[in-house]
């Protein structure tokens, strides 16, 4: 189909003008309805995108009954008299971040609000990165099964905090099993 004769037909017919105005109105309406092209202002900030963490407490100190004999046992589960934090933390670090330069050492720091202890994982990649959290520490008797623990997550670039998040999670009962 050749459009040149249609464009050079002057003065245009009423149907041509109506078709042009209708096409223009539909185009403008689409841009208004869907917002057009925008620049996401938050795309330059480091964020804690999601967390999937569990806190488990194991107050048991019992060893398996060996009937006075020497046995070798394999243990699995939560160590006795300890708190375990397990899960994943997903962090978004844009390539053009205003908070993190290319030479910065980026770390994810996880802590519980009731203690000064932390666990740290390094991040070497930009974009959406998932960091595994496996943290076991001695129970200081401040948590009980059923309590709500406050987990604090910080993203640090060269020891400066660039993002943080706080999640509340229930303290679950940890268990330990032995295979003797």
- Residue 63 pLDDT more than 60? no
- Percent of the chain topping pLDDT 90: 12
Residue 72 is predicted with a pLDDT of 61
Residue 170 is predicted with a pLDDT of 92
What CA–CA distance (Å, rounded) separates 74 from 167? 34
Average pLDDT value for the chain: 78
- Residue 43 pLDDT more than 60? no
- Residue 141 pLDDT more than 90? no
DSSP calls for 105-167: PEEEEEEETT-S-EEEEEE--SEEEEEEEEEEEE--S---TT-EEEEEEEEEETTEEEEEEEE
Higher pLDDT, 4 or 61: 4
Residue 41 is predicted with a pLDDT of 45
Backbone angles phi, psi at 29, to 5 degrees: -60, -40
Give the confidence band of 67 by pLDDT, cuts at 50, 70, 90. low
* Mean pLDDT value of segment 36-48: 63
Q: Is pTM, for the whole model, over 0.75?
A: no
Domains of the chain plus CATH, in order, are 4-34 (no CATH), 41-63+75-173 (2.60.40.10)
Give the confidence band of 180 by pLDDT, cuts at 50, 70, 90. low
* Mean pLDDT value of segment 24-41: 74
pLDDT per residue over 94-110, tens digit each? 877 666 766 678 889 99
């Amino acid at each position: 189909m050749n459009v040149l004769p249609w464009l050079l037909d002057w003065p245009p017919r009423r149907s041509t003008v109506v078709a042009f105005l209708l096409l223009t109105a539909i185009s403008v309406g689409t841009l208004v309805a869907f917002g057009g092209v925008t620049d996401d202002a938050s795309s330059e900030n480091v964020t804690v995108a999601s967390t999937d963490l569990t806190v488990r407490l194991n107050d048991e100190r019992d060893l398996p009954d060996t009937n006075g004999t020497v046995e070798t046992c394999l243990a699995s589960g939560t160590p006795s008299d300890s708190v375990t934090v397990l899960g994943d933390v997903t962090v978004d670090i844009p390539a053009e971040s205003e908070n993190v330069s290319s030479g910065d050492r980026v770390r994810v720091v996880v802590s519980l609000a009731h203690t000064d202890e932390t666990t740290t994982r390094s991040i070497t990649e930009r974009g959406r990165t998932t960091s595994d959290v496996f943290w076991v520490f001695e129970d200081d008797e401040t948590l009980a099964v059923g309590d709500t623990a406050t987990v604090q997550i910080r993203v640090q670039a060269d020891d400066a905090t660039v993002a943080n998040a706080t999640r509340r999670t229930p303290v679950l009962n940890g268990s330990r099993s032995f295979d003797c």
